[in-house]
């Protein structure tokens, strides 16, 4: 497997002129089993996550190198969309909303429990939730941290990353995260055994058949 490129979830990523973040998700075209984009997130800010074309990435000693500058990285499409919810999203029945540790009445007046009842704390502006949705190009799927891997007879572990052919960007193997059924054995599952990645990675192999696979190099 020495020829393949390993993309591990959480791997550091750098542009040609400096560090740019970590790999959070991989976007895969299920029709061709190719990696189309890498989601690279800067620091802890989800707003800074970008969809980086897979053809710009390679790995060296476990770190992802991108063939672009930091300025070019910032121009890639955002990997998340944010939207403010309606005030009704935060209501609790017909009583009020929860925000900042207080119960608010429908008009936005803060009420705090006192002596078995409630004390009026005056009018406080209502807060609306922010909903964050992953951006996935149409017709493609994503794989992210913690996604489960399912054999035909049950769950076997969680995905750690992928091995990818650097020539055509096709995924060749799925890597299982440490702590799966076979302990510290590095398990690489051929992509030919994958039947879908919509709700976790699903295989056409049994747990026993996966356990019989040779260790990854």
Identify the CATH number of the domain in which residue 160 sits.
2.30.30.240
pLDDT value of position 17: 94
Are residues 104 and 56 located together in one domain of the fold? no
Question: In 78-143, where do the E strands start and end?
Answer: 80-84, 91-92, 96-99, 102-105, 109-114, 117-123, 130-134, 141-143
Comparing 100 with 29, which gets the higher pLDDT? 29
Are residues 64 and 141 located together in one domain of the fold? yes
Joined tokens for residue 43: 């620091």
Are residues 144 and 67 located together in one domain of the fold? yes
Which pLDDT tens digit goes with each residue over 144-163?
877 899 999 999 988 989 99
Q: Which helix (H) or strand (E) holds 149?
A: strand 148-151
Are residues 117 and 75 located together in one domain of the fold? no
60: in domain? yes
Number of structural domains (the chain) is 2
- In three-state secondary structure terms, 24 is strand
Residue 1, pLDDT > 50, answer no
216: in domain? no
50: in domain? yes
pLDDT value of position 26: 92
Are residues 43 and 144 located together in one domain of the fold? yes
49: in domain? yes
Query: Does the predicted TM-score (pTM) go above 0.75?
Result: no
Comparing 146 with 178, which gets the higher pLDDT? 146
217: in domain? no
Q: What average pLDDT does range 161-170 have in this prediction?
A: 90
Are residues 153 and 104 located together in one domain of the fold? no
91: in domain? yes
Are residues 101 and 20 located together in one domain of the fold? no
**Rounded alpha-carbon distances, angstroms, from residue 155 to 15, 105, 114, 212:** 36, 45, 49, 16
Q: Which domain holds residue 38?
A: 5-80+135-211
């Amino acid at each position: 497997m020495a020829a393949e490129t390993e993309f591990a979830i959480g791997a550091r990523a750098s542009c040609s002129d400096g560090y740019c973040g970590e790999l959070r998700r991989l976007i895969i075209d299920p029709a061709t089993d190719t990696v189309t984009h890498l989601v690279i997130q800067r620091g802890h800010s989800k707003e800074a996550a970008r969809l980086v074309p897979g053809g710009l990435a390679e790995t060296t000693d476990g770190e992802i190198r991108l063939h672009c500058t930091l300025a070019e990285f910032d121009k890639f499409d955002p990997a998340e969309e944010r939207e403010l919810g309606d005030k009704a999203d935060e209501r609790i029945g017909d009583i009020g909303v929860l925000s900042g540790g207080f119960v608010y009445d429908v008009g936005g007046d803060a009420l705090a429990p006192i002596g078995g009842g409630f004390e009026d704390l005056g009018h406080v502006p209502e807060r609306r939730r922010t909903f964050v949705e992953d951006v996935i190009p149409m017709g493609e799927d994503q794989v992210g941290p913690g996604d489960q891997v399912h054999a035909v007879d049950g769950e076997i572990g969680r995905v750690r990353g992928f091995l990818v052919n650097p020539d055509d960007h096709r995924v060749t193997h799925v890597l299982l995260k440490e702590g799966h059924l076979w302990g510290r054995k590095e398990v690489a599952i051929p992509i030919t055994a994958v039947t879908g990645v919509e709700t976790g990675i699903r295989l056409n192999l049994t747990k026993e058949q996966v356990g019989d696979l040779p260790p990854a190099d």
